[in-house]
Amino acid sequence: MIKRAFITESSLAGLIGQLAESGRRVLGPVRSGNRVMFKEVCSMEEVDIDHIVTTVSPKEALLPRCEEIVRWKNQGKETLMADENNPAVPTVVYGLRPCDARSVEALHAVYTWDTDDGFFLSKYDTTTFITLSCRHCDEHCFCVATGGGPGDTAGSDLLLTALEDGLYLVEIVSEKGQALANEYDSFFTMAHPGVMAGSGAESGHGAAANPGGATQSGATAQSGAEAPSGTTAQSDAEARHGTTAAPSPDQIDKESYLADVEKHFDLDTLRERLEKAFDGPVWEEQSLRCLGCGACAFVCPTCSCFDIQDETYGTTGQRLRCWDTCGLGQFTIHTSGHNPRETQAQRWRQRIMHKFSYGYNRLNITGCVGCGRCSRACPADMNLAEHLIDIAGAK
Amino acid sequence: MTEQLQQQARKLLDDQEVNLIIGYGEGSARAVRAVFVRSPEETEKLILDERCTANLAVYLNKKEIRALGKPAIVARPSVQRSIVQLAVENQLANGDITVIGIDDDGTLTLFSDLDKLGEHVLAQAPLRGDSPIASSGSRSASSEASSSGEASSSPESSASTESPHSPESPHSPEMDEERVRKLSSLPMEERFAFWMSEFAECLKCYACRAACPLCYCERCTVDCNQPQWVSVPAHPLGNLEWHVMRAMHLAGRCTECGACYDACPVDIPLHLLTQKMHDNMEEAFGTSSGEKKDKPVFPLNSFRPDDKEDFFR
């Protein structure tokens, strides 16, 4: 069973600060105008909380949009190979969503399928994901239909769920998560701090400063708090859990804090329909308005295709692995000029089939986590969920 | 307005004057999307309101759409300008399409003669100061609930906090002009820093290219790899090369519809570059794109032995 604990808002901020100070690369959602991107952060103050999902997925922590895989130097007639400059930096990704975390499993399946990809795995092994479950969703979210959910733990190392003001339930999902919780155990507490001031600042500092925080008793925490606003929070918590005693982490009904994401379609039915849909008219109908760009794939957390580019600078050069996508016409063009996927309908079919049929048959994993980024990013309003509902509901 | 459009569309299909209508229909989450109406019954799908700002002219050169037969296209002023520019560049000829022109005041006019459309566009308001309808972009900020749009304090965005990166997604001609003005007033180093920080976000998804009616080349320079002229990876140099190239190729041709910006998934205000290029072109050569003239002038495409510049002779 997944182990649980609590962390206060200010302890969490303290944790993020200490993680950054520890020399790790800490990536968190940062807002600039309309875009929210995962950026390296030093403190919680830089982190944006006012978004459903980030504009671009956090997959760049494991699969950068371009990364060096070989470098060389020409010396006379000889070509000398050199070690690539692409080290894995110990990383913590904070504030990704359960859909994003689930996508890590899909990427891992691809990059360990027939060959273990060293560039991917070295980053995967040194990255810890601290996920925030979803209290809100929007009309593009469809994680439940793809097998996930707003509080899904898959792929996360730690999953945080915001409870009452300033308090989070912590689920320690993996060994990596446990290791991080052990290393920074003073920030976590097993006891409900009970009374949280609106900002959670005072009690949070208390918990952070107390090295025995993990064993701190609920009674101690309660007696230490005096703010009247805290009393209200406490009675809210009591009302929710129907108990006068402060609940333990295991007594928290996590589901009651999560967004209500409906199940838009049945995944098994979709797969069955797709098996017979290859030659159907649906692809052309759906893709007529598709402009054939790569926006959907490049914001997608699970799209994993890449292109190889060699760049030379005089006598030196490097080979780069860069994101690529089946939505672009050039993706399948042969040197002869022949293109087996000549039309956008064929390319759209490939995108859907790969995510929901081929990928599942080969890797037993669905190549879509229902984050809805593709639908939000699409300049032509290609709504993935809508198209999947169409297919799953077709006779 | 919508009813009149539907009637007109129905008549065009009934009379078999066209095979399909390219128009706007209801999309998801309050957005509108392009619809391709092929039967009189389907004309009910057509809508026309302030959300209809996407530049549908981009579909006119799409192979898949062309295969459906002769289209009629619902054309707001920015779409009209794109069509005229496409005609000037010999990408559309009389008889290829029927234009259902919808002016800012809601007037519906049919054009089958693209020269007439050119005259109509010339008689309209100048390039900017477009329409009240164009003031709201099709892209909604729905995913960001009611975001404050506050500029972040990260070093990457420090340039954008003082320079004209607008917090709102929908852009208006007035806003764009103001942003170009502000940017132009910055010292070169700051301007360069602003663009480099914006380009740093570029994913090289080419949505800007795909959404632009005037990016119709069958093989884009970035897709030519024997030799590779432009660096493809989405690294700083590759991104800079792409955006400079895109702006230069559209200099004096861009009709300033803003589709490239609306399409950009990471909100790079790249339309300001082409807008600035347009200003430069107008200043240097007195030309304006999207206007049909007796003799179209393409300062950057033309060669004259008696050109006053001698460096390329």
Whether residue A43 has pLDDT greater than 80: yes
For A392, B160, B179, B261, the CA distances from B186, given in Å and listed in that order, are 54, 12, 11, 22
Residues B77 and B169 in one domain: no
Buried b (16+ CB within 10 A) or exposed e, A16-34: bbbbbeeebbbbbbbbbbb
Counting one residue from A and one from B, how many pairs have CB atoms under 8 Å apart? 174
The answer as to whether B195 is a domain residue is: yes
Whether residue B221 has pLDDT greater than 50: yes
The answer as to whether B297 is a domain residue is: no
Q: What is the pLDDT of residues B29-72, one digit of tens each?
A: 889 999 999 999 999 999 999 899 899 999 999 999 999 999 99
Provide mean pLDDT across the span A169-180.
97
Mind telling me how many Å the CA of A212 is from chain B's nearest CA? 35
Provide mean pLDDT across the span A301-322.
94
Provide mean pLDDT across the span B189-196.
97
The answer as to whether B143 is a domain residue is: no
Residues B176 and B69 in one domain: no
The answer as to whether B309 is a domain residue is: no
State percent of chain A over pLDDT 90. 79
pLDDT at B153: 36
Residues B174 and B270 in one domain: yes
The answer as to whether B146 is a domain residue is: no
CA distance A325 to A291: 14
Q: Which residues pair with B26 in a beta bridge?
A: B32
Residues B60 and B110 in one domain: yes
Structure tokens given for A70:
């070989």
Which DSSP state fits A127? E
Range of the domain at B56: 2-133
Count up the domains in chain B and report the number. 2
CA distance A321 to A121: 15
State whether residue B267 sits within 8 Å of chain A by CB. Answer: yes
Roughly what angle, to the nearest 10 degrees, separates helices A267-275 and A384-393? Answer: 70
For A100, B22, B48, B86, B223, the CA distances from B91, given in Å and listed in that order, are 43, 18, 27, 5, 21
Mind telling me how many Å the CA of A227 is from chain B's nearest CA? 29
State whether residue A345 sits within 8 Å of chain B by CB. Answer: yes
- Candidate from A248-252, A343-347, B268-272 with smallest mean pLDDT: A248-252
Mind telling me how many Å the CA of A26 is from chain B's nearest CA? 14
Beta strands in chain A (DSSP E): 3-8, 25-32, 35-40, 66-75, 78-82, 91-96, 127-132, 158-162, 167-172, 306-313, 316-323
Residues B16 and B84 in one domain: yes
Residues B205 and B127 in one domain: no
The answer as to whether B53 is a domain residue is: yes
Taking contacts as CB-CB distances below 8 angstroms, the residues of chain B near A387 are none
Structure tokens given for B109:
């006019």
Q: What is the pLDDT of residues A253-287, one digit of tens each?
A: 999 999 999 999 999 999 999 999 999 999 999 99
pLDDT at A83: 82
Q: How confident is the model at residue B129 (pLDDT cuts 50, 70, 90)?
A: very low
Q: How confident is the model at residue A133 (pLDDT cuts 50, 70, 90)?
A: very high
Whether residue A179 has pLDDT greater than 80: yes
Taking contacts as CB-CB distances below 8 angstroms, the residues of chain B near A52 are 143-145
Which DSSP state fits B56? G
Residue A290 · residue A259 · CB < 8 Å: no
pLDDT at B297: 60
State whether residue A381 sits within 8 Å of chain B by CB. Answer: yes
Nearest to A292 among B145, B210, B235 (CB): B210
Q: How confident is the model at residue A350 (pLDDT cuts 50, 70, 90)?
A: very high
CA distance A64 to A67: 6
Torsion of CA A124, A127, A132, A137, to 10 degrees: -40
Q: How confident is the model at residue A393 (pLDDT cuts 50, 70, 90)?
A: confident
Question: Which amino acid, A310?
Answer: D
* Residue reference for tokens 């926006």: A295
Q: Which residues pair with A96 in a beta bridge?
A: A131
State whether residue B39 sits within 8 Å of chain A by CB. Answer: no
Q: What is the pLDDT of residues B298-310, one digit of tens each?
A: 677 677 788 777 7
Whether residue A121 has pLDDT greater than 50: yes
Whether residue B96 has pLDDT greater than 50: yes
User: Which residues have CB under 8 Å from B299's CB, separation 6+?
Assistant: B252, B281, B284, B285, B287
Q: Which residue of A has its CA nearest to B262?
A: A379
Q: Which among A331, A336, A363 has a CA at the least distance from the CA of A348?
A: A331
Q: How confident is the model at residue B295 (pLDDT cuts 50, 70, 90)?
A: low
Provide mean pLDDT across the span B22-28.
96
CA distance A274 to A367: 14
Whether residue B242 has pLDDT greater than 90: yes
- Residue A386's H or E segment, with its range, is helix A384-393
CA distance A207 to A225: 12
Residues B8 and B129 in one domain: yes
pLDDT at B4: 94
pLDDT at B93: 94
Cα Rg of chain A (Å, integer): 24
Whether residue B251 has pLDDT greater than 80: yes
Top-confidence residue, A321 or B144: A321
Q: Locate all alpha helices (DSSP H) within B15-72, ordered by sequence.
A: 63-66
Q: Which among B45, B195, B25 has a CA at the least distance from the CA of A380?
A: B25
Mind telling me how many Å the CA of B86 is from chain A's nearest CA? 18
Residues B113 and B165 in one domain: no
Whether residue B91 has pLDDT greater than 60: yes
Q: How confident is the model at residue A207 (pLDDT cuts 50, 70, 90)?
A: very low
Provide mean pLDDT across the span A76-86.
89
C-alpha A38 chain-centroid distance: 10
CA distance B139 to B207: 14
Residues B195 and B231 in one domain: yes
Q: Is B187 exposed, middle or buried (0-12, 13-18, 19+ CB in 10 A)?
A: exposed
Q: Which among A177, A189, A25 has a CA at the least distance from the CA of A92?
A: A25
* Residue reference for tokens 């944006």: A48
State whether residue B160 sits within 8 Å of chain A by CB. Answer: yes
Roughly what angle, to the nearest 10 degrees, separates helices B236-250 and B188-199? Answer: 110
Whether residue B141 has pLDDT greater than 70: no
Nearest to B64 among A31, A297, A344 (CB): A344
pLDDT at A244: 55
**Domain map of chain A by residue range?**
3-257, 267-393
SS3 content of chain A, % helix, strand, coil (to 5): 40, 20, 40
Structure tokens given for A32:
């600039």
Q: How confident is the model at residue B312 (pLDDT cuts 50, 70, 90)?
A: low
The answer as to whether B43 is a domain residue is: yes
ipTM: 0.86
Taking contacts as CB-CB distances below 8 angstroms, the residues of chain B near A138 are 29, 142-143, 145
Provide mean pLDDT across the span A56-80.
95
pLDDT at B123: 85
Q: Which residue of A has its CA nearest to B260?
A: A379
The answer as to whether B258 is a domain residue is: yes
Residues B128 and B166 in one domain: no
For A139, B38, B118, the CA distances from B135, given in Å and listed in that order, are 24, 30, 23
Q: Which among A15, A25, A174 has a CA at the least distance from the CA of A91?
A: A25
Structure tokens given for A246:
């402060």
Q: Which of B139-148, B153-162, B277-286 has the highest mean pLDDT?
A: B277-286
Q: Which of A59, A137, A289 is the best residue to mutate to test the B interface, defined by the most B CB atoms within 10 Å of its own CB? A: A289
Task: Please report, for chain A, how many H helices and E strands are present, in that order.
Answer: 14, 11
Whether residue A294 has pLDDT greater than 50: yes
Residue A2 · residue A173 · CB < 8 Å: yes
Torsion of CA A252, A257, A259, A262, to 10 degrees: 50
Which DSSP state fits A356? I
pLDDT at A82: 87
